[in-house]
Amino acid sequence: MKTIMIVDDSRTVRESLKFFLKEGGYNVLEGSDGREALDILVNTEADLVITDVNMPNLDGLGLIEELRKSANHKFTPILVLTTESQQSIMEKGKSLGATGWIVKPFDSEKVLAVVKKVIGE
Amino acid sequence: MEESSEDKTTQYLTFTINNETYALKVINVKEVLEFTTVSKVPRMPDFMRGIINLRGSVVPVVDLKMKFGMGETEKAIDTSIIVTEVLLDDELVTMGLLTDSVKEVIEMSDEEIEPTPYIGTKIDTDFIKGMGRKNDIFLIVLNIEKVLTVSEINMVSAQEEKAE
Amino acid sequence: MNQFKETFKEEAYELLGNLEDLLMEMEEHPEDPETIAAVFRSIHTIKGSASMFDYNGISGFTHSVESILDGVREGSMNVSKELIDLTLLSRDHITNMLNAEEDVTPEFQLVSEDIISKLNTLAGIKTEPLVPVSPSQVEDKKQKDTVFNTFRINFKPSPEIFMSGTNPLLLLKELKDFGECHVISHTSDIPSLDKYDPLSSYIRWEIVLVSDRNTDDIKDVFIFLDPSSVVEVSVVADWHDILNPGSGKKLGEILMEKGLIKREDLENVLDSRKKVGEVLVENGLVSSSDIKSALEEQHITKSLKQTMSDKSTTSIRVKSEKLDYLVDSVGELVTAQARLSQLALQFKQSSLISLAEQIERLTSDLRDNAMSLRMVPMGTTFSRFKRLVRDLSSSLDKRIQLVTLGGDTELDKNVIEKLNDPLVHIIRNSIDHGIEAPEDREKSGKPPCGTITLEADYSGANVILKIIDDGKGLDKNAIIRKAVEKGIVGPDSQLSDEEIFKLIFMPGFSTAAKVTNVSGRGVGMDVVKRQIDSLGGIISIESEQGMGTTFSLNLPLTLAIIEGLLVSISGEMYVFPLSSVQACIELTSREREDHGKKRMIEYRGSLIPYIRLREMFLDDSELPEREHIVIVQAENSLAGLVVDEVIGDHQTVIKNMGKLYKGLSYITGATILGDGSVAIILDVNRISALARKESL
């Protein structure tokens, strides 16, 4: 079973994502901000990281940078949660090494389609 | 049409039947054909001469002379069929009129057309719009919509029922 | 899950509470765009999360409310007291749905529809049925007519593609889900092991994809790709090309199209009589994988022609007027061709005659093809009657099932259109008079549920359509009683079953003891018969008391062109439909005198009455020395129609004679003959009926 790390400061988003992904047959890890996620990921493997951008302590873009510098997450796919208006954030994320993005609001279908696209079933 | 301005004129096509000149609004005229073979439609009144082939369409031909009770139109060198478009019962119907000869297109204003004088004519005057005069010639202006009366159209349509 | 819904509810209650305040504010400042935007946003957000968390009732309703409010936001609708009232009502309705265990219930649906229709009226929009919107349904709406294209996709990932966590193989896999997909890997860029960087990508792929998706859908697959990766999508053959038989591209052309070789290269190679691909590789112009992929593309396009053309024929839609126009034009062509053949024979020039014969063959092919285009299966019409049967049987407290057979039988769409009314009438009749009430059926040992079967099948150039019920059958005695009562037949007449059944087609005949709202509308079976007659069809009945009744309609495949028999009467030409002609017999003046007033002629051992058409046509000119009797099948019996001459077969293009002759049902129409003159097409059934009536 593939493992996905969800990073978001909003409990509603985390819970809904977790629900969709579990329904989709994935194992889920959670972090409420970039720092917390990074602490977990340092010695935990994950097949995918889905991260929000605006978070306290360490934001999404910072998290991407850190992960790409790390030894074990150089190639781990990373999806950024954005809203449609945040074109610049998508580009920024890409340039830092993000794999793709999920546009908010999302539903189960959308989330699973994007996840499937980047890590397969 | 009803607004009577002095110079408002309408174009008419004139033609003859039994040496009398008739006029018909050009707007109703689609074209003029030389006499052609008319196929008889059985069990129809005599003035319904039959049908012709107009470039692939079937068009009925009415013998006006016979309709006016003046005998059958004989084929002669000037015999023509005026193909008209007439509104019958809200339906645009193409109909050929058999005439002795077709003359010319003239312009007349409504003022130049006088109502039909009440004289003891044999023919039903409903289809005559009035009498006109042009170049010292008297014209009978036809009201083409009324040439076939409602009862005649119905008679044609209901002919079989009557027979049953 | 529950806990998760709770989170959504908490959020939604918060938004709804806020919405109430916003609406109050809106009432005070109706013009304030920010308040309007905030109201819109609240509904929008609820809609979004509701659909996310499968609150379909709420999401469907808020979707509709949102689109109305969008109009307000766009300025096409004003903020009014009514609007605020209705939006408040909407807010309460959403709250109620949120409170409830289940938000999709008929009650909620009714309230939703009510509010939406009021909102739509306010906005001046026609109300459409409200459907709960779930993501998958939204997707469905996007689907368009299926059109298959062949795409060539060139995919060259940047060497550092792995650095962004992208797995290119997953993208190829995704493409495979789009349709028929052929992937060719180009590995020539992979360096030797000493220079090989395992973190870099060296492969490029060419993909030939046949899919009903469009270019944008395909580009979307690569949406996350970094800018230095290359993705080129081009359409190499749209469905049109695929269908076009001559469209196959040559290998050289494909390579040129891809920019791999130049025209000069190709021309040079073509001179040497070897295989193009081999020479190009030998000369180092292209790599063998390039040739392989080009060949693959060529192969796919070719092999797809067949399969795709099958799929595409079902997807080409043509306006029916266009078909009518085509059939009309073909009709003209048939007429012109007949004239040509006639002229050719007159000129007696062999080259002209053979050309005319060739054109005759082509015209006949073209005619058959054009007619076949207008053929549509009966099935769609059949299924329309399911509803009729269901509704009528329940209104009469009967239980009836409709069975349909031969729905794929094809008929000219114009015939099918004109069949609708008579079929409705016959089926109503079967439901009303045929099938018994369930308790009566059980008493007579039948299953309580009656069956009406609609069956269509080909029979030569005709289609036989049967409407079969397993009801009580026709009551022969009742029919005779009624017919005698109405003065249709004499009290002592000896009638065969067939003749008795035919009585119900007489005008004014109806066996129903009372007039019900189902079949008694003042129109009897005579109208049905007339409608079938006007289609050139024949209707007949078989019935057995207690077992049921079968109506059989024998219908021509088409109305536009028929095979006819050309005859002349008193110098005028007439056409009989060849399908009703049985034989032609000579009638000499001597026989004429022998027969006297008893006009009967022997045909195949029985005496058949004949009618002189020129008499019917009130033509009193002198009779020719020799006449001919055309034996026709009319009204289920044989009759002779006397004409002057029988000319021969005629391809008859039926022309409408227009309003003035509409009432003459003994005339089917007119047709134009080879010499440009017009012949009348006679309806054999009506002519015989008329003759019988007049001789009475």
Which of residues B117 and C75 earns the better pLDDT score? Answer: C75
**β-pair type (C149-156, C230-237):** antiparallel
> Are C672 and B56 a contacting pair at CB < 8 A?
yes
Name the domain count of chain B: 1
Which of residues B90 and C176 earns the better pLDDT score? Answer: C176
DSSP codes, C402-419? EEEE-TT-EEEHHHHHHH
Structure tokens at C140: 């469905």
Separation in Å, CA of C630 to nearest CA in chain B: 18
Instruction: Please check the confidence at residue C559 and state whether its pLDDT lies above 80.
Output: no
- Does some domain include residue B132? yes
> Are C49 and A107 a contacting pair at CB < 8 A?
no
Which of residues C317 and C416 earns the better pLDDT score? Answer: C416
Confidence of residue C271 (pLDDT cuts 50, 70, 90): low
> Are B93 and C672 a contacting pair at CB < 8 A?
no
Determine the pLDDT at residue C522: 45
pLDDT, tens digit, for every residue of B138-160?
A: 899 988 888 776 566 655 544 44
CB of C513 less than 8 A from some CB of A: no
Determine the pLDDT at residue C248: 59
pLDDT, tens digit, for every residue of C598-613?
A: 788 888 888 898 989 9
Residue A100: list chain C partners with CB under 8 A.
166, 223-224
Instruction: Please check the confidence at residue C127 and state whether its pLDDT lies above 70.
Output: no
Beta bridge partners of B95: B84
Structure tokens at C569: 């009467």
Three-class SS state of A2? coil
CB of A117 less than 8 A from some CB of C: yes
Lowest mean pLDDT among B7-16, C285-294, C506-515: C506-515
- Does some domain include residue B17? yes
- Does some domain include residue B1? no
Mean pLDDT over each residue of chain C, to the nearest integer:
80
Residue C617: list chain B partners with CB under 8 A.
42-43
Determine the pLDDT at residue C266: 72
Determine the pLDDT at residue C274: 65
Going from the C-alpha of C73 to that of each of B8, C33, C40, C58, C66, the distances in angstroms are 54, 7, 8, 21, 10
The most confident of the ranges A66-75, A86-95, C298-307, C514-523 is: A66-75
pLDDT, tens digit, for every residue of C51-77?
A: 667 788 888 898 888 888 878 877 788
Name the domain count of chain A: 1
Determine the pLDDT at residue C126: 57
Mean pLDDT for the stretch of residues C561-567: 87
Q: List the alpha helices (DSSP H) in C522-641.
A: 525-534, 589-595, 613-616
Asked if the bond preceding A105 is cis, omega within 30° of 0, the reply is yes
Instruction: Please check the confidence at residue B80 and state whether its pLDDT lies above 90.
Output: yes
pLDDT, tens digit, for every residue of C68-124?
A: 887 887 778 888 888 888 898 899 999 999 888 788 888 888 889 889 888 888 887
Fold classification of C2-140 is: Four Helix Bundle (Hemerythrin (Met), subunit A) (1.20.120)
Partner residue facing C52 (CB), from A16, A99, A100? A16
Mean pLDDT for the stretch of residues C676-684: 88
Lowest mean pLDDT among B80-84, C7-11, C437-441: C7-11
- In a mutational test of the B interface, the residue from C329, C339, C667, C678 whose CB has the highest number of chain B CBs within 10 Å is C678
Structure tokens at C513: 């003891």
CB of A15 less than 8 A from some CB of C: yes
> Are C690 and B42 a contacting pair at CB < 8 A?
no
Partner residue facing C165 (CB), from A15, A78, A107? A78
Determine the pLDDT at residue B137: 84
> Are C676 and B53 a contacting pair at CB < 8 A?
yes
Mean pLDDT over each residue of chain B, to the nearest integer:
81
- Does some domain include residue B3? no
Partner residue facing C661 (CB), from B88, B89, B156? B156
Determine the pLDDT at residue C407: 84
> Are B43 and C662 a contacting pair at CB < 8 A?
no
CATH (domain of B90): 2.40.50.180
CB–CB of B156/B48 below 8 Å?
yes
Three-class SS state of C425? helix
CB–CB of C456/C409 below 8 Å?
yes
**β-pair type (C561-569, C572-577):** antiparallel
Confidence of residue C372 (pLDDT cuts 50, 70, 90): confident
* Residues whose CB is less than 8 angstroms from the CB of residue C93 and which lie 6 or more positions away in sequence, other chains included: C61, C108, C111, C112, C115
User: In angstroms, how far is the first alpha carbon of chain A from the final one?
Assistant: 9
Residue C49: list chain A partners with CB under 8 A.
105
Q: Compute the distance between CA of residue C269 and CA of residue A37 in angstroms, rounded to an integer.
A: 62
Residue A120: list chain C partners with CB under 8 A.
167, 170, 173
Confidence of residue C146 (pLDDT cuts 50, 70, 90): low
Partner residue facing A99 (CB), from C49, C135, C166? C166
CB of A106 less than 8 A from some CB of C: yes
Confidence of residue C583 (pLDDT cuts 50, 70, 90): very high
Determine the pLDDT at residue C555: 86
CATH code at C561-695: 2.30.30.40
- In a mutational test of the B interface, the residue from C333, C526, C660 whose CB has the highest number of chain B CBs within 10 Å is C660
Mean pLDDT for the stretch of residues B22-45: 90
Domain of B115 in residue numbering reads as: 9-163
Instruction: Please check the confidence at residue C690 and state whether its pLDDT lies above 60.
Output: yes
Determine the pLDDT at residue C523: 58
Chains C and A touch (3+ CB pairs under 8 A): yes
CB of A35 less than 8 A from some CB of C: no
> Are B156 and C663 a contacting pair at CB < 8 A?
yes
Structure tokens at C397: 């407290």
Separation in Å, CA of A117 to nearest CA in chain C: 6
CATH of range C320-374; options 1.25.40, 3.30.450, 2.40.160, 1.10.287:
1.10.287
Partner residue facing A109 (CB), from C135, C162, C165? C135
> Are C7 and A108 a contacting pair at CB < 8 A?
no
Which of residues C131 and C627 earns the better pLDDT score? Answer: C627
Partner residue facing C7 (CB), from A15, A77, A118? A15
Confidence of residue B118 (pLDDT cuts 50, 70, 90): low
User: How much of chain A exceeds pLDDT 90, in percent?
Assistant: 20
DSSP label of B113: P
Determine the pLDDT at residue C509: 75
Instruction: Please check the confidence at residue C240 and state whether its pLDDT lies above 70.
Output: no
Q: Work out the burial of residue C126: count CB atoms within 10 Å of its CB; fewer than 13 is exposed, 13-18 middle, 19 or more buried.
A: exposed
**β-pair type (B128-134, C581-588):** unpaired
Determine the pLDDT at residue C515: 45
Produce one character per residue of B87-120: b if its CB has 16 or more CB atoms within 10 Å, e if not.
ebeeeebbbbbbbbebbeebebebebbeeeeeee
Instruction: Please check the confidence at residue A105 and state whether its pLDDT lies above 80.
Output: no
Separation in Å, CA of A102 to nearest CA in chain C: 10
Lowest mean pLDDT among B8-22, C266-280, C490-504, C616-630: C266-280
For chain C, give every domain's residue range: 2-140, 149-312, 320-374, 377-556, 561-695
CATH (domain of A66): 3.40.50.2300
Enter the ipTM. Answer: 0.85
Q: How many CB atoms lie within 10 A of CB C479?
A: 21
Determine the pLDDT at residue C315: 53
Mean pLDDT for the stretch of residues C453-465: 83
> Are A12 and C48 a contacting pair at CB < 8 A?
no
Which subunits count as partners of chain B given 3+ CB pairs below 8 Å? C
- Does some domain include residue B4? no
Which of residues C654 and C301 earns the better pLDDT score? Answer: C654
User: Would you say domain C377-556 falls under CATH 3.30.565.10?
Assistant: yes
Separation in Å, CA of A57 to nearest CA in chain C: 24
CB–CB of C603/C631 below 8 Å?
yes
Confidence of residue C193 (pLDDT cuts 50, 70, 90): confident
Angle at C650 between CA C644 and CA C656, to 5 degrees: 95
Domain of A35 in residue numbering reads as: 3-119
pLDDT, tens digit, for every residue of C495-545?
A: 888 888 888 887 767 644 444 444 444 457 888 888 887 777 888 899 998
Instruction: Please check the confidence at residue A47 and state whether its pLDDT lies above 80.
Output: yes
